Structure formats: structure tokens, C-alpha cells
Amino acid sequence: MAGPQTNRERVLAALACQNAPGDLPFLPWGLDALAAPPHPSYAPLFQILGEKAAIKRRWVGHHDFFLPAPPVVTDTQKHSRHDGTVVETVHLRGPGGELTCERRGIPGTTASEATSRYLKSEADVERYLEWPFVDQPADAEPYFGLDRDAGSRGVVTHRIPSALGVVGEAFEPEPFALCSVENNELVLTLIEVIAQRVTRYVRRLLEGGARPIFIIGGPEFATPPLLSPRRFDDYVVRFDQPLIGLIHSYGCRVLVHCHGRLNAVLERFVDMGVDGLHPIETLPMGDVTLTEVKRRVGDRLCLVGNVQIGDMMSAEPEDIRRQVRAIRAQVPVGMILTTSATPYESPMSQRLYDNYIAAIEEANEWR
């Protein structure tokens, strides 16, 4: 591809697997260089990202596809633990009983985990499906300002969950797996209800003129060994394929975020029409190699990754440089460099900063 390209053009070309061979745009995962840093220690990194990497303006929508509407009452309580984490407990009290979830997180970071989920039995699902839900506003207006900010330097991304992503976050893992065997129709009903909500939300954004890159999360709740490839077809392909088709009909691109083992379901992402797949975890985290993935998907799918965030926090900078060189060699076309997750250190260590610099510099060596 002749002539210099802006970072926006480079990212979009890579997503279409039409970038110049060897061009490896760096798109920071979870970090928006034009936004406020999550901690003051990240400010120097944000400055470098704004100068030397593609800008990733994060459009954070205020949507919740699970929380019911009145007369269900939502009661939220928070308390700090001795280890510095904060526990948030949410009680949903409505007709027929109560559903409760609990999350524990590190203040000032995106690191959190669910320690208890709303749905713990088939009875909980049946109760939940009887409760009312009112669609929340889908405001496309924030997109336009973010897009102007990014300009030629980057792109705007908007993260939404797949229907399975919402269900997977709300359903305790073991009861979910058991229910998928013993009462699959109930699970399908729940996913379909959520899928309709997500589709209505996305359609209103698109009709309002928003044209971000959509990032869909959630398919990992149905990847092996959690569930079989057949269930991946039932819970992911069946519902996400039409959603992706809708997004494509408005000229937008789709990234899917899916950790874990991809070997048994890799081609399903191509079948769904996914433009880019993140983070492509290789051995030992996953069960594929980057070379194998590229051989199987060719130019039908952009690979987005695949430097582990754990390596960014602990490896030597030269190790990161070697990883980036290996990534470029294995996938010269259709690759966007980024980390497997958002960094969650607070404050940021010198090692993490040095490794981001190493990755950015090595990615820019081609130019």
C-alpha cells in the first residue's frame, strides 16, 4: 500500500486484512490516551501513547441489559476490606423473591471479579424472566465528539456484551453448565430475551448516526472446556451472527474479545462475520499457535493481540521486543498489536512503562 497512512487508516486497513505487509499498528487495549489516566502514574505513558500509537477513544455506554425495571427494587451496598479491595453487593427484590450478586474489585483499576452471581438455579431464571425490563436510552451523540477527538490519529470503539456475555456474567458457572444440559430451552429463552435487548440498543445507536468499531465480549462463556462446540453454535453463533450483520449493514466493523481455548471454534468467528478477534491467546494460555490461526483464517479475519498483560508487567523489555518481532513475522498482514487485557496495576510500575515503550518502538520499526 503506497504512501504514508494515518493511524486511523492503518487500523482500518489491518482490520480489513489490507494493510501493507509488515505494518503493525499498536492499538492500546483499555487505555484511551485522550482521557484521564486511571492513576497519575499512567500520565507519562498516556503522553507516549498519544504521540506514537493509534488513539483508541473508548466510548463507554451507560447500558445494562440485565437489571430489571420497577417494581423490582435494586439495593446496592459497598464496603472496604482489610486487603484494600471493595466489595459491592446488589440485591434485586421483586415479585416472587430476591436475586443477589457480589463483586470484589481494586479501587482505581478495572480489576474485579464476581464472587457471587444473580442466577444460581433454574428457579432463579424463571423468576427473572417474569420481571419487567425497560430499555435504557441509547444516545449516539457522544460518538461524534469522540470521533472528532480521534480524527486521523485513531478510532472510536464501543464495547457491548453479547447476549451470552450478559447471561454468563449473571449465571453461576456450575448451575449454568448443568442447566445447559438439563434445560437447554430455558437457557436459550434467557439468551434470546437478552439478545433482543442488545439488538434494539445497537440499532438505535446506528440509526442515530454512530459509526464506532464495536467490541463484543462474552463468547468465552461457551468455549471448550466450559461447553461443547455445539453449545457455542447454540449460544453464540445463533445470536451474534445477526447482530454482526446489522452492524455491518451500517458500514461498521466488529471486534470480538474472547479469552481461552479457540481451536475447536476458531472458524465459527469467521462464519459469524467477525472482522477482528482479540486476544488470540497461544500456548500455554490457549490451545493454538499464531501461525496455525493465520493459516486457518487467512485474510478473512484480523488478529488483534497477542502480548500477554502478565508479560507486560513482569518480562524484560527485550523479551517484549522479541515477541513483537515474532508476531510481525508470523502475521505480516491482518494483525493489530495490543495486550491481552487492560493493565490493572495501580500505581503503574516502571517495568510496565518500559515494556509499553518497547512494544510501541518495536511496532514502529517498520515505518
Decide if 1 is inside a domain.
no
| pLDDT tens digits along 313-352 | 999 999 999 999 999 999 999 999 999 999 988 899 999 9
Is 126 found in the same domain as 109? no
| CA–CA distance, 258 with 352 (Å, rounded to integer) | 23
Is 186 found in the same domain as 99? no
| pLDDT tens digits along 8-18 | 999 999 999 99
pLDDT of res. 3: 46
pLDDT of res. 184: 97
Is 240 found in the same domain as 293? yes
Is 299 found in the same domain as 348? yes
pLDDT(187) > 80: yes
CATH number, domain of 230, equals: 3.20.20.210
Is 202 found in the same domain as 111? no
Q: Is 333 exposed, middle or buried (0-12, 13-18, 19+ CB in 10 A)?
A: middle
Is 250 found in the same domain as 107? no
pLDDT(51) > 70: yes
In the chain, the number of structural domains is: 2
Is 267 found in the same domain as 361? yes
Decide if 17 is inside a domain.
yes
8 A C-beta contact, residue 236 and residue 219: yes
* pLDDT band for position 1 (cuts 50, 70, 90): very low
Domain that holds residue 215: 7-67+121-366
Is 174 found in the same domain as 136? yes
Sign of the Cα torsion 61, 66, 68, 74 reads negative
Using DSSP's 3-state secondary structure scheme, residue 304 falls into: strand
| CA–CA distance, 278 with 133 (Å, rounded to integer) | 31
Is 108 found in the same domain as 237? no
Is 109 found in the same domain as 24? no
Decide if 271 is inside a domain.
yes
Residue type, 83: D
Full-model pTM: 0.94
Question: Which residues is 304 bridged to in the sheet?
Answer: 336
Is 145 found in the same domain as 99? no
Decide if 2 is inside a domain.
no
Is 270 found in the same domain as 177? yes
Among 310, 224, 311, 309, smallest CA distance to 260 is for 224
Sheet holding 276-278, edge to edge: 55-59, 154-161, 213-217, 254-257, 276-278, 302-307, 335-339
